[in-house]
Amino acid sequence: MNFPSEITGAIFDVDGTLLNSMKVWEGLAERYLMSKGITPEEGLSQKLKTCTVSQAADYYRTHYGLDLSTDRIISETNDIIREFYENQAEMKPGVKELLNKFSDMKIRMCVATATDRELIVPALKRNGIYDCFCAVLCGDDIKTGKDSPEIFYKALEILKTDIKTTWVFEDALHAAQTAKKAGFKVACVYDSCSHENQPELVKLSDLYLKSFDELDLIK
């Protein structure tokens, strides 16, 4: 399998796309509130799925009366998951090979993730891929989630590539929909945490990958 059209720029999500890390987020909101002695509403993690950590912190304060600053909530939430990113989060199969090939092809690359910088950067560095990117845009750089195209447009500005030949690599349906509506080519990548959305992701995508290993250009 190969790209169906020209590519000059690539914007990569991290969790569930480059890294096998979505599992750490499952139930995170519930675990955090329970650590404060608060009983969370049913389906809270799903409700906050498209939010940045800052947006989730605001939700805890507004809906649960949590009398802590946003910065304090973010710090405590990040403590729960920092160890995972620093020591456990691994690349998905074929990622390093694809990034190396794109570098050889002079394709400019940028990360666009809703996760905060202090979590993402150590994981990218430990896996040896941080230096592949022109920039790493994180949730604390862009104050909107991926239900807004702001982070993708900012990445495009950094890449200085044509939107028509710039591909966004995503595993999450809401983010893929946003990128597609914004005018990007979209490559959807399978992740078990978004399994229920696969039919829609396949239909939406310009290229659908069960694994990066499927791409002929890295074989």
Are 69 and 160 in the same domain?
no
- Whether the Cβ atoms of residue 154 and residue 137 lie closer than 8 Å to each other: yes
How many domains in the chain? 2
Mean pLDDT of 84-91: 92
Query: Could you read off the pLDDT of 71-81 as tens digits, one per residue?
Result: 999 999 888 88
Q: What is the pLDDT of residue 25?
A: 79
Q: What amino acid occupies position 33?
A: L
Its domain, for residue 74, covers 23-87
Give the strand order in the sheet containing 108-112.
Answer: 135-137, 108-112, 9-12, 166-170, 185-189, 207-209
Q: Are residues 115 and 197 in the same domain?
A: yes
109-123 pLDDT per residue, tens? 999 999 989 899 999
Average pLDDT, the chain: 92
Based on the fold, state whether residues 61 and 167 are members of the same structural domain: no
Q: Which of 87, 115, 138 is the last residue of a domain?
A: 87
Q: Which residues, 6+ apart, have CB-to-CB distance to 75 below 8 Å?
A: none
User: Residue 4 falls within a domain, yes or no?
Assistant: no
State yes or no: pLDDT of 218 exceeds 60: no
User: For residue 11, which of 124, 117, 135, 140 has the smallest C-alpha distance?
Assistant: 135
Q: Which residues, including other chains, have CB under 8 Å from residue 217's CB and lie 6 or more apart?
A: 2, 3, 98, 101
The answer on 106 and 128 residing in a single domain is: yes
Does the pLDDT at position 29 exceed 70? Answer: yes
103 and 83 share one domain:
no
Residue 44 lies in a domain: yes
Whether this prediction's pTM lies above 0.85 is answered by: no
Query: Do 111 and 131 touch, CB atoms closer than 8 A?
Result: no
Give the per-residue pLDDT at 184: 98
Assigned token pair, 91: 């690349």
Q: Could you report the per-residue pLDDT of 3-14, keeping only the tens digit for each?
A: 767 899 999 999
Q: What is the pLDDT of residue 117?
A: 92
